[in-house]
Amino acid sequence: MTKLGKRTTRLRSMIDGSKGYQVEEAMGLIEQMKGAKFDETVDVAIRLGVDPRKSDQMVRGTVSLPHGTGKTVRVLVFAKGEKEKEAQDAGADFVGSDDLIKKIQEGWTDFDKAIATPDMMGVVSRLGKILGPRGLMPNPKVGTVTMDIARAVKELKGGRVEFRVDKGSNVHCPIGKHSFGKQKLTENFTALFEAVMKAKPDTAKGTFVKNITVSTTMGPGIRIEAGALREESK
């Protein structure tokens, strides 16, 4: 058996696949899952009872994780004049206007998040076919088209993440790194879950959160008991 196979077998033996774990219990298992040669990302997958094909059942939003994601986020800002300086002072990695637009049109997308002032969206919209499929297009619904540039930059670099239901009715979102430990991962998970619940469409009928799974990059999924969380959130 390969080394990877042995590790996978060992990790799976730690989990009772027939049960749903309480959040802290699941994060405690994550904490015990050592062995990878890098600090694995911890991801959450939430299956929702919505039909994403219907526009009035789209679930999306943002949440500022109390302990961040553990990832260095490279933020680009489309702005001019005073707002350009504001972005630089707030710690944006790339700031500009026409120069950045030209660079992106030529194929450069070496950044993680993009913000724009409202007056820039007329020209930024030309980049829709490039930025849209990569999830990089500034959007007022998630706070990345704004005049409050400094706040947006600091929030993104500090751990604000976006979530959006996919075609399979799932929300996938990172909540930190393995090295965070049980307590920080639990607090980040709680912040994400509460944000998803607040984003519940009025038209969603029946059970909104159907199931929840948490896993590390290389580890098996751990099912979280969704019923108790649903009750707590009422």
pLDDT tens for the chain, 234 residues: list them. 445 577 667 677 778 777 889 999 999 999 988 767 889 999 999 999 999 999 999 999 999 999 999 989 999 999 999 999 999 999 999 999 999 999 999 999 999 999 999 999 999 999 999 999 998 999 998 899 999 999 999 999 988 898 999 999 999 999 999 999 999 999 999 999 999 999 999 998 889 999 999 999 888 899 999 876 765 555
In this structure, are 111 and 80 located in the same domain?
yes
Residue 23, domain member (yes or no):
yes
- For position 6, what pLDDT does the model report? 72
- For position 7, what pLDDT does the model report? 62
Report the domain count for the chain. Answer: 2
- For position 218, what pLDDT does the model report? 86
Show which of 158, 184, 203 is a domain's final residue: 158
- For position 219, what pLDDT does the model report? 86
- For position 2, what pLDDT does the model report? 47
In this structure, are 148 and 165 located in the same domain?
no
Rounded Cα gap, residues 80 and 140, in angstroms: 18
* CATH number of the domain within which 174 lies: 3.30.190.20
Residue closest to 154 by CA, chosen among 39, 77, 42: 77
Q: Give the pair of three-digit tokens for residue 211.
A: 């199931």
Domain that holds residue 54: 18-69+160-232
